[in-house]
């Protein structure tokens, strides 16, 4: 029995390796590049969020929150916050916890457009702003109804200012 010569076998083997490498190379490159880019973006976001902080200005309303839910077709809530971190903050929203006759309800409201902070008009470090909620429904009124208010932001939702009712 005769086989193929070792030289031809080596050439065929090298050709197969080059062909497989040519097919897998771009895929492996894209996979590692996109994984590296995602890791870089996540790290940058974590660093950004670690430098973000804001809190209520306690000389405004009741410890930073002012509201009135007794006005028909005109409920309103505002928060005065100060950027205590080292990065710009923007894209806020409100999370309210209400104690209603049917139980605890959680409501989310965006700020009014004229008080919302944006990427081009952020709340800079050391600055203070009043942000008003765009309340789109008639909220229940009365003492003790408003239990908790979180002023959050969509960039780093784990960073927020929290107000709790003392009632």
Helix, strand or coil for residue 159? coil
pTM above 0.85, yes or no: no
Q: Is the pLDDT of residue 1 over 60?
A: no
Tell me if 134 sits within 8 A of 110, measured CB to CB: yes
pLDDT per position as a tens digit, 46-57 = 888 999 999 999
Question: Percentage of the chain with pLDDT > 70?
Answer: 96
DSSP 114-154: TT---SSS-B-TT-EEEEEB---S----STT-EEEEEEEES
Q: Which range among 17-26, 89-98, 121-130 shows the weakest confidence by mean pLDDT? A: 17-26
pLDDT per position as a tens digit, 64-109 = 999 988 877 778 999 999 999 999 999 999 999 998 888 899 999 9
What is the predicted pLDDT for the residue at 9?
81
The pLDDT-based confidence of 167 (bands split at 50, 70, 90) is low
Residue 21: count other Cβ atoms within 10 Å of its Cβ.
Answer: 10
- CATH code of the domain made up of 54-164: 2.60.40
Q: Could you state, in order of their start, the residue ranges of all structural domains in the chain?
A: 1-50, 54-164
């Amino acid at each position: 029995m005769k086989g193929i010569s070792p030289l031809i076998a080596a050439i065929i083997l090298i050709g197969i390796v080059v062909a497989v490498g040519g097919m897998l190379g771009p895929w492996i490159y894209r996979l590692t590049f996109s994984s590296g880019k995602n890791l870089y973006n996540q790290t940058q976001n974590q660093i950004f969020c670690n430098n973000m902080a804001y809190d209520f200005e306690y000389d405004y309303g009741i410890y930073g929150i002012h509201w009135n839910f007794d006005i028909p077709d005109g409920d309103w809530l505002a928060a005065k916050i100060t950027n205590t971190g080292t990065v710009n903050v923007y894209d806020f929203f409100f999370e309210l916890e209400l104690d209603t006759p049917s139980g605890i309800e959680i409501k989310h409201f965006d700020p009014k457009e004229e008080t919302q902070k944006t990427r081009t008009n952020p709340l800079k470090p050391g600055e203070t702003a009043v942000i008003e909620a765009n309340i789109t429904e008639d909220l229940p009124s009365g003492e003790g109804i408003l239990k908790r208010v979180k002023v959050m932001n969509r960039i780093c939702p784990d960073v927020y200012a929290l107000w709790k009712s003392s009632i």
